[in-house]
Amino acid sequence: MRELSDISIQYVKGVGPTRKRLFMRLGVESVEDLLYFLPFRYEDRRDLIPIAKLEQGKWQSVSARIRGYRSRRSWYTKKHVTELVIEDGTGELFCVWFNQPYLESYFKPGSQIVCYGKVDIYNGRLQMVSPEYEIIERGVDASLSLGRIVPVYPLTKGMRQRFIRKVVMSCIERYRDALRDELPVYLRNKYRLYNIKRSIENIHFPQSFDDQQEALRRISFEEFFFFQVSVLLRRLSITSKKGISHQVTDTQLLEFINSFPFELTGAQKRVISTIRRDMQRATPMLRLLQGDVGSGKTLVAFFGCFLSFLNGHQSCIMAPTEILARQHYDNITHMIADSPMKDMRVALLVSSMRKKQRDSLLEDISVGKIDLLIGTHALINEDVVFKDLSFVVIDEQHKFGVRQRAMLAEKGSNPDILIMTATPIPRTLYMSLYGDLDVSILDELPPGRGKIKTMLFSYEREQEVYSMVKSKVEEGRQAYFIYPIIEGSENLDIKTAQEMFERFKCNEFKGLRLGMVHGKMKRSEIDKVMSEFKTGNIDILIATTVLEVGIDVVNASVMVIEHAERFGLSQLHQLRGRIGRGGADGYCFLLANPSTEEAEQRLEAIVSTNDGFKIAQQDLMIRGPGRYFGRHQHGLNELKVVNTSTEIDILETARKEAIALVEDDPKLCKGYNKRIREVIRRRYPTYLAMVSAG
């Protein structure tokens, strides 16, 4: 029998070659992909709430008839407004959408509609702003959309919920009997797990929420078990090799710690001791270093570079952006200038270098004239050859893929690897995504850092925010304004960096010194503006998210993030971390009018705490693991089902069973374990290829 992963989605009833392209936008290419393409939520439409009983401030679903609609332009915001009036015999509800004039063609008086959104009272009337909606067409079978627990799936342009439900049901009916239980029988029995057929049916079309939860438990356990086996095999393939033992005396360690003009935090000293222990061993170190913005990760990572240099080897640091790579280079060269490490030869390799300069540097690297190389993904190019690489640092690992990490490590002879991230990762997520790594956490900030106060304002109060910024700048502070896009678009009614730069110069901040940076500028232009900002020659910097990582300006203590609802939670936290880096307190003003439940949750979370780990946990719970880092780029495409924010017990149990299996049979050559190896080969080919290569 053909594997379901080999059968194209186009052969499912209702799809075909044209609609196949729609599914491919969602990452669904095969029958197996579709069966495991899970709803992101469910609506209980067995007994929908009458309009008269809707509760203000809650996110609820309602089914009603369309009484009428109208389109107009708001006299205040100038936005195009579509208003829909629906009724169900108990009352009426207004539904409002902004800048979506095309909606008029969807709404016909008398049609039945289901709306899901936040219920509010505005000018004495009950309304939902930008609700999700579904038209229930007359004469069309509504058995999958009404009178039951209804799955709600991620969509793409040209696709509707009713269509995808129908396709999923057709797929289940056609391929149900081809589903095979790949989880070992002893585990299914031990944990009383549903069989796979029952699980797939109930994850999509449950008869009860208890059935849905049991189905999710079964599928999550299976997925995490197989994924963890692959991760553990990968770790074993690395740690079983002979690595490089880096020796350092207590005197040399103290010399390193005392070479800085400030006292290291207790957390920094603790992690440095851990790295020393790891690097002295003859097996490769695999360690993840987590620390919030400003916790001193670079200094800790540099200790490993120091050990490599001390033992006559080379080291490298790979960063996701040229800005961050240059900042590491500047910080480290400044760090060693007047220290016992001043003889260390440090170089920077980035893609914008001229060919002659690059060729000369590559030659120096290959013959060992460079002790520490800092750069971007340019480090993994084939023409970069080290003479003796023994220590690798990868900054912001989630910006790279698992394979890129391996490619850099392959440039040495089983080097020690340290991965850094300023995006705090909840324990359950790093247990899944980074299950092959040991973990260290920098949970202290250096003394003398200012506190950051975050405040949320609606756009009706924007002038109040601008006045507060101006006041702070006149006191001698500098400020950032962050925008989601550079230039305007007819389809997006939001402020842009370019537009506001021009406006501020002539209006709100006339007479102050303004600058602007964004991702489309040349490297030299960005460097020039940033240099002016750092030296205090610019009062207010208008920017896009090019500032998310790597920019340190001690005097910048104010930040305004406009359209904050359009930014991710961790992204907001990273941006906020750019201020308060000196002794003065920082003020982060968020301007937003959230129109979705998720956006509202993000903004509530960022205002409520400055703790990066709490932020990360909230972000994971709001978005789920796939969107937390982005599936395709960062390795989470393997996890299609597991929700690492809520299924902690399942994850820990499955990991425990995976560890027991690998310890008992590390080559997976006994009995049914051979089948497990084949499952892993099919599901996680990249991981197993690395294991095989090892």
The predicted structure's pLDDT at residue 256: 92
Token pair for 526? 């960005």
- Taking the C-alpha atoms of residue 276 and residue 281, their distance in angstroms, rounded to an integer, is 9
Does residue 41 belong to any structural domain of this protein? no
Does residue 633 belong to any structural domain of this protein? no
Whether residue 402 is found in the same domain as residue 462: no
Does residue 399 belong to any structural domain of this protein? yes
Whether residue 488 is found in the same domain as residue 605: yes
**Residues in the chain with pLDDT < 50?**
1, 490-491, 625-637, 689-694
- Taking the C-alpha atoms of residue 569 and residue 575, their distance in angstroms, rounded to an integer, is 10
Whether residue 111 is found in the same domain as residue 255: no
Whether residue 472 is found in the same domain as residue 601: yes
Helix (H) or strand (E) segment spanning residue 163? helix 161-175
Domain boundary among 553, 581, 609: 609
Q: Cα dihedral sign for 102, 105, 108, 113?
A: negative
| Burial (0-12, 13-18, 19+ Cβ within 10 Å), 236 | middle
- Taking the C-alpha atoms of residue 65 and residue 55, their distance in angstroms, rounded to an integer, is 20
Tally of CA atoms within 13 A in the half-sphere of 253 that contains its CB: 17
Phi, psi values for residue 158, rounded to 5°: 95, 5
Whether residue 254 is found in the same domain as residue 361: yes
Contact assessment for residue 280 and residue 308, using Cβ atoms and an 8 Å cutoff = no
Whether residue 376 is found in the same domain as residue 462: no
Largest distance between two CA atoms of the chain: 84
The predicted structure's pLDDT at residue 208: 95
Which residue in the block uniquely carries the two structure tokens 């797939």?
200
| Burial (0-12, 13-18, 19+ Cβ within 10 Å), 134 | buried
SS3 labels along 24-63: HHCCCCEHHHHHCCCCCEEEECCCCCCHHHCCCCCEEEEE
Average pLDDT, the chain: 85
The predicted structure's pLDDT at residue 53: 94
Whether residue 544 is found in the same domain as residue 587: yes
Token pair for 147? 């009178």
- Taking the C-alpha atoms of residue 8 and residue 16, their distance in angstroms, rounded to an integer, is 10
- CA R_g for the chain: 28
Which residue in the block uniquely carries the two structure tokens 């991230």?
421
- Taking the C-alpha atoms of residue 471 and residue 458, their distance in angstroms, rounded to an integer, is 20
Does residue 374 belong to any structural domain of this protein? yes
Token pair for 126? 């009950």
DSSP code at position 344? -
- Taking the C-alpha atoms of residue 26 and residue 632, their distance in angstroms, rounded to an integer, is 11
Whether residue 462 is found in the same domain as residue 584: yes
Does residue 176 belong to any structural domain of this protein? no
Whether residue 311 is found in the same domain as residue 357: yes
Does residue 427 belong to any structural domain of this protein? no
Whether residue 413 is found in the same domain as residue 478: no
Would the pTM of this model clear 0.75, i.e. be above it?
no
Q: What is the CATH number of the domain that holds 398?
A: 3.40.50.300
- Taking the C-alpha atoms of residue 587 and residue 607, their distance in angstroms, rounded to an integer, is 11
Residue 133 pairs in a beta bridge with 115
Q: Distances in Å between the alpha carbon of 212 and those of 203, 329, 654?
A: 5, 52, 19
Token pair for 367? 């013959």
Domain boundary among 562, 583, 609: 609
- Taking the C-alpha atoms of residue 604 and residue 174, their distance in angstroms, rounded to an integer, is 45
The predicted structure's pLDDT at residue 429: 62
- Taking the C-alpha atoms of residue 29 and residue 12, their distance in angstroms, rounded to an integer, is 11
Whether residue 54 is found in the same domain as residue 119: yes
The domain of 135 spans: 48-146
Q: What is the CATH number of the domain that holds 74?
A: 2.40.50.140
Contact assessment for residue 543 and residue 496, using Cβ atoms and an 8 Å cutoff = no
- To 10 degrees, the CA torsion angle through 167, 169, 171, 175? -170
Does residue 223 belong to any structural domain of this protein? no
| Burial (0-12, 13-18, 19+ Cβ within 10 Å), 512 | middle
The domain total for the chain is: 3
Contact assessment for residue 682 and residue 690, using Cβ atoms and an 8 Å cutoff = no
Does residue 621 belong to any structural domain of this protein? no
Token pair for 318? 């790979």
DSSP code at position 663? H
Task: Tell me, rounded to whole angstroms, the distance of Cα 465 from its chain centroid.
Answer: 29
Contact assessment for residue 113 and residue 64, using Cβ atoms and an 8 Å cutoff = yes
The predicted structure's pLDDT at residue 489: 54
Which residue in the block uniquely carries the two structure tokens 């208003």?
83
Whether residue 307 is found in the same domain as residue 381: yes
Taking phi over 0 as left and psi of -120 to 50 as alpha, with beta for the rest, 562 belongs to: beta
